[in-house]
């Protein structure tokens, strides 16, 4: 059994993938070929957001968003410590300071009440919360495991304090909150097409989304070394952040069946939740009213029994599991300089000790799910 099965999907659409790749080989426009704009248009329409800018990875999408919003040294960027390294890495990379805010224990997404506390404290330069006086500038909420963060409250807070919002939608492309899709939130949204993400290509890829024409123009410039209107006069400092034409061609084939795959993921998740909700030694994911997750991961919290016991029992039956994330970012060596310590974000730290994820993908069979649940049930 596989944690994420990409082979079954490939079998389904192999002809279309092959045809799309052959088209690229025939026209030879490997850099910024016509498939890029076609994909941008289709995904912008799906998300219902005016501008889409393809780029080289989810990490580049976040980096380009920060550059477009002119975030830099002296600026505070508020984000979750319970996420993949890339979210906070790009903040530090451009010389701004990540300010971590603990998560909600049910959704694992940034806690809006704590976010407002941290922003208010930064306004009064309360240095007990971070090492130096900073200018609060931006919030990067993460849609963890495919579930949108609480943008209603986060966007209200951002407006109140005059901050930008960048949606880290690397795990949530296809998710919804009351008919509004992931990547339609914040000033800029950033998603990833890493193969294991809900919409993945066959390598690295990503995309920025924005409703603002000026930001879209800045992102298109930043994507190609900050190019300006004259070929040899660059307007700003940017990156080499283009999406490959071949990856766009693969994504066009995959996107044809993507809406159906989102439904298959949601059916598989509902089945897990139904079969596992009686288990007293674990807590299944809680999805608040009005939200539809795209289930990048199906993550469970263990209570009263060791996570290791579950993982070992599953492994004995060749069922793979994973831990997202075993170490919150504030405790990682890379962020040592920020001066955080163990105990600073108790909800994130607790989740990192008790969480684990079980196989999740659109082609998970009922038979496999029953097998997984039967093993888990021996420990309930």
Q: Give 194 or 272: the residue with its C-beta nearer to ligand PLP.
A: 194
Per residue in 307-342, is it b (16+ CB within 10 Å) or e — as a string? Answer: beebbeebeeeebebbebbebbbbbbeebeebebee
Give the binding site for ligand PLP (CB under 6 A). 57-59, 83-84, 86-87, 142, 168, 170-171, 192, 194, 204, 206
Smallest separation, CB 60 to ligand PLP (Å): 7
Q: Give 193 or 272: the residue with its C-beta nearer to ligand PLP.
A: 193
Smallest separation, CB 125 to ligand PLP (Å): 29
Per residue in 142-152, is it b (16+ CB within 10 Å) or e — as a string? Answer: bbbbbbbbbbe
- The residue sitting closest to ligand PLP, measured at its beta carbon, is 58
Q: Give 4 or 279: the residue with its C-beta nearer to ligand PLP.
A: 4
Smallest separation, CB 248 to ligand PLP (Å): 15
Smallest separation, CB 368 to ligand PLP (Å): 24
Smallest separation, CB 120 to ligand PLP (Å): 26
Q: Give 111 or 369: the residue with its C-beta nearer to ligand PLP.
A: 111
174 exposed, middle or buried (CB, 10 Å; 0-12, 13-18, 19+)?
A: buried
Q: Give 171 or 321: the residue with its C-beta nearer to ligand PLP.
A: 171
- Laid out side by side, the sheet with 180-181 consists of 180-181, 176-177, 291-292
Smallest separation, CB 24 to ligand PLP (Å): 21
Q: Give 199 or 376: the residue with its C-beta nearer to ligand PLP.
A: 199
Q: Give 190 or 314: the residue with its C-beta nearer to ligand PLP.
A: 190
Q: Give 59 or 302: the residue with its C-beta nearer to ligand PLP.
A: 59
Q: How far apart are alpha carbons 16 and 252 in whole angstroms?
A: 9
CA 238 to chain centre: 23
Q: Give 191 or 210: the residue with its C-beta nearer to ligand PLP.
A: 191
Q: Are 118 and 99 in contact (CB under 8 A)?
A: yes
Smallest separation, CB 89 to ligand PLP (Å): 9
Smallest separation, CB 86 to ligand PLP (Å): 4
**Beta-sheet pairing, 298-302 with 291-292:** unpaired
Smallest separation, CB 57 to ligand PLP (Å): 4
Smallest separation, CB 111 to ligand PLP (Å): 17
């Amino acid at each position: 059994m596989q944690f994420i099965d990409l082979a079954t999907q490939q079998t389904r659409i192999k002809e279309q993938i092959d045809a799309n790749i052959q088209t690229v080989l025939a026209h030879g426009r490997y850099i910024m070929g016509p498939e890029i704009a076609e994909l941008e248009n289709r995904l912008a329409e799906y998300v219902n957001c005016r501008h889409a800018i393809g780029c080289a990875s989810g990490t580049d999408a976040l980096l380009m968003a920060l550059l477009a919003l002119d975030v830099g040294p002296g600026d505070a960027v508020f984000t979750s410590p319970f996420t993949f390294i890339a979210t906070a890495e790009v903040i530090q990379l451009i010389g701004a300071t990540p300010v971590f805010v603990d998560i909600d224990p049910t959704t694992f997404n940034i806690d809006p009440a704590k976010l407002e506390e941290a922003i208010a404290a930064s306004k009064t330069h309360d240095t007990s919360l971070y090492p130096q006086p900073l200018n609060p500038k931006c919030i990067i909420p993460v849609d963890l495991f495919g579930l949108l963060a609480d943008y209603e409250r986060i966007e209200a807070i951002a407006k109140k304090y005059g901050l930008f919002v960048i949606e880290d939608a690397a795990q949530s492309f296809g998710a919804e909150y009351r008919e509004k899709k992931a990547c339609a939130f914040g000033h800029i949204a950033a998603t990833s097409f890493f193969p294991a993400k809900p919409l993945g290509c066959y390598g690295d890829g990503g995309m920025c989304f924005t409703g603002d024409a000026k930001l879209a123009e800045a992102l298109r410039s930043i994507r190609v070394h900050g190019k300006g209107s004259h070929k040899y006069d660059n307007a700003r400092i940017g990156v080499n952040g283009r999406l490959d034409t071949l990856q766009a061609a693969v994504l066009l084939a995959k996107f044809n069946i993507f809406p159906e795959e989102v439904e298959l993921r949601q059916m598989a998740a509902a089945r897990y939740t139904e079969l596992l909700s009686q288990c007293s030694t674990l807590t299944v994911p809680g999805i608040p009213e009005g939200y539809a997750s795209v289930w990048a991961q199906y993550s469970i919290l263990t209570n009263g029994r060791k996570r290791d016991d579950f993982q070992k029992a599953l492994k004995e039956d060749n069922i793979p599991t994973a831990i997202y994330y075993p170490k919150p970012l504030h405790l990682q060596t890379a962020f040592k300089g920020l001066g955080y310590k163990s105990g600073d974000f108790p909800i994130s730290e607790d989740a990192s000790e008790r969480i684990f994820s079980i196989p999740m993908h659109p082609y998970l069979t009922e038979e496999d799910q029953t097998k997984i649940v039967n093993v888990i049930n021996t420990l309930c």
